[in-house]
Amino acid sequence: MKIAVLAGDGIGPEITQQAERVIAALASDGLKLETEHAPVGGAGYDAAGDPLPEATLRLCEQSDAILFGAVGGPKYDALPRPKRPEQGLLRLRKHFDLFANLRPATVFPELAHASTLRPEIVAGLDILILRELTGDIYFGQPRGIRTNEAGEREGFDTMRYSEGEIRRIAQLAFEAARKRNRRVCSVDKANVLETTQLWRDVVTELHAQYADVELTHMYVDNAAMQLVRNPKQFDVIVTGNMFGDILSDEASMLTGSIGMLPSASLNAKRFGMYEPIHGSAPDIAGKGVANPLATILSLAMLLRHSLDQEAAAARIEAAVRKVLAQGLRTGDIAEPGKRTVGTREMGDAVIAAL
Ligand code: NAD
């Protein structure tokens, strides 16, 4: 199984290096994993004048999954838009039709104090948000700003989902729930929006094939409230692009620690790109202090969702839990009485715990 490692910019190389050490440790235990590197983002521009060089894309096509660090930095801010680092990310999403964005929001009990919510509300939180990434009002046509009959400007967008687009994300949600606590909450606004009435109908129809998974529906306004009132009621949340955009950011902030959260973007063949939700953190790049755990947890997602290696994924997650329980913290999650360590030492500890 081949993993393309696109480290990118800023802290990208430091954090992916620790994930690669975890891969090497798993490989030495017999898992058939290999990695190959290629530049992306600003590093791609520096190497080949393009944030997604042809050779990088070719490597991704020949691999089973992509592990992505982060891209961007002040050095590249003045480049024309097509050359900007984030274009590398957007073009990869488009090229591989990565329509499903998986964002877990997990609060390790040891880090519950980092949340802005009371620890008892979030301790042990473990939700997975599936956001549809390529449809909805963000892409629907027609759209624009025009002058209406009264001579006033008006803006308009089109919310649109086809049955097939809804079915493929709902299917992923049910399948992901089978690997978790077998509960899916589909979020819509079916009381007001026709598009999301269809969403609700299609999800309900598909549910017949997943009778072992519990399905509930919730209106998005209520979901936004329930996420801060009692987030632990959720297992898997599946929703459209716009609602998912908002709810996944809300959910990630329940945890309060950006350096801990992984993510995945998948296509219909379960090929995916796995990356921490944070950026390239130029303010701490090169200092050896970045938290590598979001990237290491992204690797666990990669093993689970693209390579079907559930046991290895669970092993990595257990190792991370153990290291936190041992009291090791990087600067972003530092607390009095715990030992603050750097990027490499955190990697060492995870490998020892593995
Ligand atoms: P950021 O996520 O890079 O950093 C925000 C803050 O969180 C910073 O103080 C940073 O030091 C801290 N932080 C982030 N990750 C950390 C980690 N692993 N360990 C410890 N601390 C961490 O967001 P930003 O500062 O708004 O953006 C910086 C650059 O990253 C920009 O060029 C932006 O475009 C880019 N960016 C890239 C991605 C991506 O590659 N997917 C996502 C967001 C931002």
Angle between helices 293-305 and 12-28 (to 10 degrees): 50
Res. 61 pLDDT band, cuts 50 70 90: very high
Helix axes 343-353, 310-325, angle to 10 degrees: 120
At which of 223, 254, 285 does a domain end? 254
Residue 80 included in any domain: yes
**Stretch 241-265: mean pLDDT, rounded?**
91
Q: Is there a contact between 11 and 19 (Cβ–Cβ < 8 Å)?
A: no
How many structural domains are present in the chain?
A: 2
Would you say residue 318 lies in a domain? yes
Average pLDDT value for the chain: 95
**Could you tell me if the CB of 92 is within 6 A of ligand 1?**
no
- Do 192 and 247 belong to one domain? yes
Catalytic residue status for 46 = no
Where in the sequence is the domain holding 331, given as residue range(s)? 1-99+259-354
* pLDDT for 95: 95
pLDDT at residue number 110 = 87
pLDDT tens by residue, 318-333: 999 999 999 999 999 9
**Atom number, ligand 1, closest to the C-alpha of residue 283:** 11
In this structure, the answer to whether residues 293 and 335 fall within a common structural domain is yes
Residue 149 has pLDDT above 90, yes or no: yes
pLDDT at 309: 96
Shared domain check, 241 and 139: yes
| Same-domain pairing of 130 and 147 | yes
Q: Please tell me whether residues 144 and 239 are part of one structural domain.
A: yes
pLDDT band at 335 (very low <50, low <70, confident <90, very high): confident
How does residue 173 score in pLDDT terms, banded at 50, 70 and 90?
A: very high
What local confidence, expressed as pLDDT, does residue 45 receive? 98
Task: Assess whether pLDDT exceeds 90 at residue 36.
Answer: yes
Which pLDDT tens digit goes with each residue over 112-137? 888 889 999 999 899 999 999 999 99
Q: Is ligand 1 within 6 A of the CB of residue 304?
A: no
Average of per-residue pLDDT across 137-162: 95
Same domain, 83 and 156: no
Do 220 and 275 share a structural domain? Answer: no
Whether 242 and 272 share a structural domain:
no
| Residue 108 domain-assigned (yes or no) | no
- On whether residue 117 sits in a domain, the answer given is no
133 located within any domain = yes
Q: Note whether 13 and 47 are within 8 A (CB).
A: no
Residue 141 within any structural domain of the chain: yes
Q: Which residues pair with 132 in a beta bridge?
A: 100
Does residue 5 belong to any structural domain of this protein?
yes
Please state whether beta strands 236-239 and 126-132 pair in parallel, antiparallel, or not at all (unpaired).
parallel
C-beta of 280 in contact with ligand 1 (< 6 A): yes
> How confident is the model at residue 249, as a pLDDT?
86
Is the CB of 278 inside a 6 Å radius of any atom of ligand 1?
yes
Separation between Cα atoms, residue 184 and residue 109, nearest integer Å:
23
Pocket probe for ligand 1: among 6, 86, 280, the residue whose CB has the most ligand atoms within 8 Å is 280
Q: Give backbone dihedrals phi and psi of 287, rounded to 5 degrees, phi first.
A: -95, -10
Choose the final residue of a domain: 254, 278, 297. Answer: 254
Residue of the CA atom closest to atom 37 of ligand 1: 279
Q: What's this model's pTM, rounded to 2 decimal places?
A: 0.90
CATH code of the domain covering residue 239: 3.40.718.10
Whether 97 is a known active-site residue: answer no
Active site residue 219: no
Residue 114 lies in a domain: no
Does residue 256 surpass a pLDDT of 80?
no
Q: What is the mean pLDDT of residues 340-352?
A: 98
Same domain, 132 and 239: yes
pLDDT at 139: 87
Q: Residue 252: its pLDDT value, please?
A: 86
Domain boundary among 217, 233, 254: 254
189 is catalytic: yes
Catalytic residue among 77, 221, 287, 308: 221
The per-residue pLDDT for range 260-294, each reduced to its tens digit, is 999 999 999 999 999 999 999 999 999 999 999 99
| 255 pLDDT more than 90 | no
Could you tell me if 142 and 248 lie in one domain?
Answer: yes
Do 270 and 227 belong to one domain? Answer: no
Cα–Cα distance measured from residue 232 to residue 227, given in angstroms and rounded to the nearest whole number: 8
- What is the pLDDT averaged over residues 205-221? 98
Give 188's pLDDT tier (boundaries 50, 70, 90).
very high
Q: How do residues 295-321 score in pLDDT, each as one tens digit?
A: 999 999 999 999 999 999 999 999 999
Q: Do 249 and 181 have their domain in common?
A: yes
Closest ligand 1 atom, residue 284 Cα: 11
Please state, in angstroms and rounded to a whole number, the distance separating the CA atoms of residues 23 and 34: 8
